[in-house]
């Protein structure tokens, strides 16, 4: 069907509701970074607020490239500074993102603590046909903690990384 931006999850809505219960609850939530480490990219302001409030907590990010573009966010500039904290990354990308010519890495991130990586490719209304996958590293640097890798949709990547602790893989 047609593209629909991601909706905030019930966890995000609950967190925002709890922060509005009373001043005391809001103060407690605002000084507790662990509450803010799970980020569903709904708006640019929310993404920035969650990243700031999460302080040094590990991050679980769900980001849609289309929403980032609409919000004027350059993901390849934003993500590297948070990469060491990323525990899980769920990235929804447009199929055109793979047509950027030869490159050594799809995600030039050094995320040594990442345990789960999900890349979803939305082709929209475009017909993909038989696309030869590109052999590239999916992540730069250390990947020994990665335990789950999912390439969903028409992801034309053939990972060349070595994933010594990978226990779950999903290819669609």
Cα–Cα distance for residue pair 93/41, rounded to 1 Å: 13
The percentage of the chain sitting over the pLDDT mark of 90, rounded to a whole number, equals: 26
The pLDDT confidence band at residue 98, using thresholds 50, 70 and 90, is: low
Please answer whether residues 60 and 38 qualify as being in contact, where contact means their C-beta atoms are separated by less than 8 angstroms.
yes
pTM (2 decimals)? 0.80
CA angle 67, 71, 76 (to 5 degrees): 80
Which run of H or of E encompasses 82? helix 75-82
Whether the predicted pLDDT of 47 surpasses 90: no
Which are the contacts of 155, defined by CB distance < 8 A and separation ≥ 6? 98, 119, 120, 121, 133, 172
| Mean pLDDT calculated for residue range 83-101 | 77
Q: Which residue has the higher pLDDT, 46 or 95?
A: 46
CA angle 114, 120, 122 (to 5 degrees): 155
pLDDT of residue 3: 42
Burial 7-40 (b: 16+ CB within 10 A, else e): ebeeebeebeeebeeeeeeeeebeeeeebbbbbb
The pLDDT confidence band at residue 171, using thresholds 50, 70 and 90, is: confident
pLDDT of residue 72: 66
> Of 62, 71, 78, 72, which is closest to residue 7 (Cα–Cα)?
62
**Least confident residue range of 124-133, 139-148, 160-169:** 124-133
Query: Per-residue pLDDT tens for 100-141?
Result: 555 567 788 888 899 999 998 876 655 555 666 777 788 888
The pLDDT confidence band at residue 168, using thresholds 50, 70 and 90, is: very high
> Of 62, 57, 60, which is closest to residue 75 (Cα–Cα)?
62
């Amino acid at each position: 069907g047609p593209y629909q931006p991601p909706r905030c999850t019930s966890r995000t809505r609950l967190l925002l509701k709890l922060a509005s219960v009373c001043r005391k609850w809001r103060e407690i939530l605002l000084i507790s970074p662990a509450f803010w480490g799970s980020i569903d990219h709904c708006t640019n302001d929310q993404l920035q607020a969650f990243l700031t409030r999460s302080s040094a907590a590990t991050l679980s990010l769900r980001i849609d490239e289309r929403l980032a573009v609409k919000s004027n966010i350059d993901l390849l500039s934003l993500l590297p500074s948070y990469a060491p904290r990323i525990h899980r990354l769920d990235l929804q990308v447009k199929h055109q993102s793979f047509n950027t010519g030869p490159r050594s890495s799809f995600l030039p991130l050094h995320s040594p603590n990442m345990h789960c990586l999900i890349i979803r490719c939305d082709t929209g209304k475009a017909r993909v046909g038989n696309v030869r996958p590109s052999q590239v590293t999916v992540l730069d640097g250390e990947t020994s903690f990665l335990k789950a890798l999912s390439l969903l949709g028409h992801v034309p990547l053939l990972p060349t990384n070595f994933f010594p602790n990978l226990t779950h893989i999903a290819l669609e």
